[in-house]
A = this chain, B = another copy of it.
Amino acid sequence: MIISTPPVLARARDEAGPAMRAAVAKLLPELHGPVQYHFGWADVDGTPVPGGGGKGVRPALAILSAEAAGAPATAGVPGAVALELVHNFSLLHDDVIDNDCERRHRPTVWALFGVGDAIIAGDALLTLALEVLFEAEAPGGTRAAAALTRATSAMIAGQVLDMTFETRDAVSLDECITMECGKTGALLACAASIGALMAGGDDRLVDALAAYGRHLGLAFQAIDDVLGIWGAPAVTGKPAWSDLRQHKKALPLVFAWEQATGSERRELRDLLSNGTPTEPAMERAATIIEARGGRECAESFAARELDAAFRALGAADLDRGVRAELVELAHFVVERQS
């Protein structure tokens, strides 16, 4: 299915893009190289690159969230910028931690500029995110800063679980969902509610938007997990079978493990253990995971979470236009191919 790009993404880029560049410009010039390269705004030698950056889902959520509280889109801009900064802090550090050499079809920051630059640039983006919220002096700026801090903390906890799972043979479905809820759900929940928080929206609205974001995050992560095994490198910008390569315990493997026989489990364990698995080993493992329903279960899980996200919106008395844009954005996020 071809999903057209929701107009709110371009609107969010127009609203939050300049604020994003203004925030980054406040960093020491010594950090501009790795940061602008990471955002896709510049080449490794600093030459500006047109376009660039991610899809901007988090900024779009933040802006719709402000509008959900009856505020103008501009009220969501500091939240949009802060979320994008925290998200990119986590990408910079996760790429070092996971030893990932490629992101969005380009070498990662640590691979080009060194581990030290990637660590300190990530640290700088995280503190900059909070500075942006404090400086906004919005009615709900403090609540937003506290919510972003909690979400960041949950995201870090999710990453810790993801790391420890790599050294374990098996992980339960509950453990896997807890990990993904932290790693992806927490920050999307924050993105989807931060605009309402900044604008002083009531608790019921904030909670409904956060629940929508959390379910959307889980749906997104489940699809990302499918792409982490079966995604085409030309599309994902990552190596083939990247999650298997890194011993990730993501949803497809965890679902398949639950259905696998004892001998299949032994085979999977043998195929995926011991350093970097070989290409044929990963191909064989992917075949077993698919045969045991790992791919299908992850896709149905994503569909159920998407549905839960839509139901969560029903708990708030939302403007019809904003609601429709949140629904459209969610479809786009979950049905994307990369």
Interface residues of A (CB under 8 A from B): 27-28, 30-31, 93, 96-98, 115-117, 119-120, 122-124, 126-128, 130-131, 134, 142, 145-146, 149-150, 152-153, 156-157, 159-161, 163-164
State which of B28, B134, B146, B163 has its C-beta within 8 Å of the C-beta of A134.
B146
Known: A97-B116, A131-B149, A149-B134. A28 touches B157 (CB 8 A): yes
| CA gap between A127 and B156 in the complex, in Å | 9
- CB neighbours (8 Å) of A122 from chain B are 123
Contacts of A145 in B (CB 8 A): 130, 134, 142, 145
Contact A153 B134, beta carbon cutoff 8 Å: no
- Indicate if the CB atoms of B123 and A93 lie closer than 8 Å: yes
| Contact yes or no, B120 A159, CB < 8 A | yes
Question: What would 11 more interface pairs be, CB under 8 Å, given A96-B115, A130-B145?
Answer: A31-B160, A93-B119, A93-B120, A98-B116, A120-B159, A120-B163, A124-B160, A130-B130, A130-B149, A131-B149, A131-B153
Chain B contacts of A117 at CB under 8 A?
A: 163
Contact A28 B161 (CB under 8 A): yes
Q: Find chain B residues with CB under 8 A from A134 CB.
A: 145-146, 149
When A149-B134, A150-B131 are in contact, do A156 and B97 touch as well, CB less than 8 Å? no
Give complex CA distance A117, B162 in Å.
12
A179 smallest CB distance to B (angstroms): 10
User: CA–CA, A307 to B124, complex, Å?
Assistant: 32
B153 touches A124 (CB 8 A): yes
* Count of chain copies: 2
Question: In whole angstroms, what is the CA distance A53 to B277 when docked?
Answer: 41
Q: Which of A116, A131, A134, A142 has the most CB of B within 10 A?
A: A116
A77 CB → nearest B CB, Å: 19
Q: Is the CB of A30 within 8 A of B126?
A: no
A97 & B126 in contact (Cβ 8 Å cutoff)? no
Query: Distance (Å) between the CB of A133 and the closest chain B CB?
Result: 9
Evaluate contact between A116 and B153: CB separation under 8 angstroms: no
Hey, which chain B residues are within 8 Å of A128, CB to CB? Answer: 153
Residues in B whose Cβ lies below 8 Å from that of A27: 157
Distance to closest chain B CB from A183 (angstroms) = 12
Taking the closest CB of chain B, its distance from the CB of A134, in whole angstroms, is 4
Q: What's the least CB distance linking A185 to chain B, in Å?
A: 16
> Residue among A97, A128, A161 with the most chain B CB within 10 A?
A97
CB nearest to A125 among chain B residues: B156
- Smallest CB separation, A260 vs chain B (Å): 26
CA distance A146 to B146 in the complex (A): 11
Q: What are 15 A-to-B residue pairs whose CB atoms are below 8 Å? A: A28-B157, A30-B160, A97-B120, A115-B115, A117-B163, A120-B159, A120-B160, A122-B123, A124-B153, A126-B126, A127-B149, A127-B156, A128-B153, A130-B145, A134-B146
A99–chain B nearest beta-carbon distance, Å: 8
B142 touches A127 (CB 8 A): no
Contacts of A97 in B (CB 8 A): 115-116, 119-120
Give the Cβ gap from A300 to chain B, nearest Cβ, in Å.
29
Residue on B nearest A97 in the bound complex, by CB: B116
Q: How far is the CB of A80 from chain B (nearest CB, A)?
A: 19
